[in-house]
């Protein structure tokens, strides 16, 4: 029987473990934390189950397809309706359109070209792309807001336009809210355990090295060995620390990452139940109701997409102002709150010159029996889509070729 170790029980690692087990491998998953999920895990906080910032599953994305391959079809709901959605052109204004007829026409034509699959010139940043295609300043600002909400990236000078266009096309098919994303992680875990996968939590991998069996992983609890190894931590830096000197320089050493400030509000009821979504135009803000309409407690998530130079000291008060605008009186309904000032949303922003091809691929370490996975790996998707796609890709790569049996 072939053997495999997966380091990291996030979506990418769990998907890889499932595919390896489906092929008959004996699989061990090592997770450093007390729970599985990574950034997709949910927290119990003041009686509510909260995600780590905004989360949505793209209906037309690689994640839905990858989960379906495993027979997992998460329950969820469409969070946005036209009548419940608003744009925020300024700090005290909510409206349904980005501007006048000229703005609307320019934006509509631009989006139509994008959705038809129009080509984007190689090497353009999002800023350059929007400047070249939209003369109207308000239309550019609205298009930039759509890029932010679909990619979670506010640093448009350093985000590939090609990647942004592809993500806008994925987003056009809509999203599904799952409630606590822990349900998705639990479904992947249940499926894996049902196929014999062992999952060890609080078992941090400290180092890896080639061995006679293939690969050995040192943990605080001892050493584990297997023929195949999937390295699926949450960032290139974490992977580099594990991989050590042998693979020094093979992964991006200081990648640009995207961060989000997120404020969750648990309310007894919504002061304005019809106001369910808002997107900032001038400022990079977002508000959405992350609970179904029949939930006992409404969960309002307000977020700011942060650029590298953004200070977070005043971010919470600004997010509260967005909540004041969309849900006036929310403080009187408050039962729980949580603020995450600077959460990593995208650990590696696809650069203009490279696009997604600039991300490490699963086999880029060029070592038999070793593969990478995570939302920063592979040529497909962003966010959870990338994690799920890379997990499946990593497993298939390992299963297609024999692992090294000698160091």
198-214 pLDDT per residue, tens: 999 999 999 999 988 89
Q: Which of 97-101, 246-250, 277-281 has the least mean pLDDT?
A: 97-101
pLDDT category at 406 given cuts 50, 70, 90 is very low
Half-sphere exposure of 176 (CA within 13 A, CB side): 17
pLDDT category at 407 given cuts 50, 70, 90 is very low
User: Cβ distance 302 to 265 under 8 Å?
Assistant: yes
User: Cβ distance 26 to 192 under 8 Å?
Assistant: no
At residue 311, does pLDDT exceed 90?
no
Every domain range in the chain assigned CATH 3.50.50.60: 3-41+181-255+350-400
Q: Which of 92, 89, 148, 150 is nearest to 281 (CA)?
A: 89
* pLDDT tens digit sequence for 91-126: 778 887 888 889 989 999 999 999 998 788 889 999
d(CA 25, CA 13): 15
CATH of 100-172, one of 1.10.405, 2.40.160, 3.30.70, 2.60.120: 1.10.405
> Distance from first CA to last CA of the chain, Å, rounded?
20
Q: Which of 80, 164, 69 is nearest to 118 (CA)?
A: 164
Instruction: List beta partners, residue 357.
Output: none
Instruction: List beta partners, residue 258.
Output: 346
**C-alpha dist (Å) from residue 339 to 36, 250, 311, 336, 369:** 22, 36, 15, 11, 41
pLDDT category at 90 given cuts 50, 70, 90 is confident
Q: Which residue has the higher pLDDT, 279 or 254?
A: 279
**Helix/strand/coil for 372:** strand
Show the beta-strand stretches assigned E in 203-256: 205-211, 214-219, 222-226, 228-231
At residue 8, does pLDDT exceed 80?
yes
DSSP 108: H
- The pLDDT value recorded for residue 168 is 97
- 263-280: average pLDDT: 96
User: Cβ distance 12 to 388 under 8 Å?
Assistant: yes
Could you tell me whether strands 285-289 and 48-51 are parallel, antiparallel, or unpaired per DSSP bridges? unpaired
d(CA 191, CA 118): 40
At residue 32, does pLDDT exceed 70?
yes
Mean pLDDT of the chain: 94
Every domain range in the chain assigned CATH 1.10.405: 100-172
Q: What's the order of all strands across the beta sheet hosting 222-226?
A: 205-211, 214-219, 222-226
* pLDDT tens digit sequence for 353-395: 998 888 999 999 999 999 999 999 999 999 999 999 999 999 9
User: Cβ distance 5 to 215 under 8 Å?
Assistant: yes
Q: Which of 373, 65, 9, 52 is nearest to 185 (CA)?
A: 9
**C-alpha dist (Å) from residue 196 to 29, 62, 89, 193, 247:** 11, 26, 53, 5, 31
Please, is 389 exposed, middle or buried when counting C-beta atoms within 10 Å of its C-beta (0-12, 13-18, 19+)? Answer: buried
- The pLDDT value recorded for residue 83 is 67
DSSP 404: P
Q: Which of 336, 325, 333 is nearest to 286 (CA)?
A: 325
d(CA 305, CA 312): 11
Torsion of CA 276, 68, 8, 164, to 10 degrees: -50
Q: Which CATH superfamily is domain 3-41+181-255+350-400 in?
A: FAD/NAD(P)-binding domain (3.50.50.60)
- The pLDDT value recorded for residue 401 is 81
Instruction: Indicate the pTM of the whole model.
Output: 0.95
């Amino acid at each position: 029987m072939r053997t495999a170790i997966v380091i990291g029980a996030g979506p990418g690692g769990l998907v890889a473990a499932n595919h390896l087990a489906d092929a008959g491998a004996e699989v061990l998953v090592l997770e450093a934390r007390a729970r599985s999920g990574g950034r997709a895990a949910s927290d119990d906080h003041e009686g509510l189950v909260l995600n780590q910032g905004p989360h949505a599953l793209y209906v037309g994305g690689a994640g839905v397809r990858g989960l379906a391959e495993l027979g997992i079809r998460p329950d969820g709901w469409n969070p946005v309706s036209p009548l419940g959605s608003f744009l925020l052109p300024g700090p005290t204004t909510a409206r349904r359109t980005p501007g006048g007829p000229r703005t609307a026409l320019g934006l509509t034509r631009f989006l139509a070209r994008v959705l038809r699959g129009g080509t984007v010139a190689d090497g353009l940043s999002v800023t350059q792309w929007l400047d070249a295609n939209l003369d109207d300043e308000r239309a550019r600002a609205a298009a930039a807001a759509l890029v932010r909400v679909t990619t979670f990236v506010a640093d448009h000078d350093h985000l590939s336009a090609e990647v942004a266009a592809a993500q806008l096309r994925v987003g056009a098919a809509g999203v599904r809210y799952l409630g606590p994303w822990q349900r998705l992680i639990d479904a992947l875990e249940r499926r894996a355990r049902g196929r014999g996968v062992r999952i060890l939590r609080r078992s941090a991998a400290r180092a890896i090295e080639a061995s006679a069996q293939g690969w050995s992983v040192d943990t605080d609890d001892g050493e584990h060995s297997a023929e195949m190894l999937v390295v699926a931590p949450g960032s290139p830096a974490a992977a580099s620390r594990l991989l050590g000197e042998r693979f020094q320089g093979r992964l991006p050493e200081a990648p640009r990452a995207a961060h989000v400030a997120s404020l969750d509000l648990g309310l007894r009821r919504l002061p304005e139940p019809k106001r369910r979504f808002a997107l900032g135009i001038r400022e990079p803000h977002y508000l959405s109701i992350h609970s179904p309409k029949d939930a006992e407690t409404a969960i309002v998530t307000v977020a700011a997409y942060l650029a590298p130079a953004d200070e977070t000291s005043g971010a919470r008060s600004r997010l509260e102002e967005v909540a004041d605008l969309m849900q006036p009186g929310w403080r009187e309904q408050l039962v729980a709150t949580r603020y995450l000032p600077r959460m990593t949303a995208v650990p590696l922003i696809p650069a203009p010159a490279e696009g997604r091809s600039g991300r490490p691929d699963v086999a880029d370490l060029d070592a038999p029996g070793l593969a990478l996975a995570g939302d920063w790996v592979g040529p497909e998707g962003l966010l959870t889509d990338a994690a799920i796609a890379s997990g499946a890709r990593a497993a298939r790569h390992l299963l297609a070729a024999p692992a090294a049996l000698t160091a």
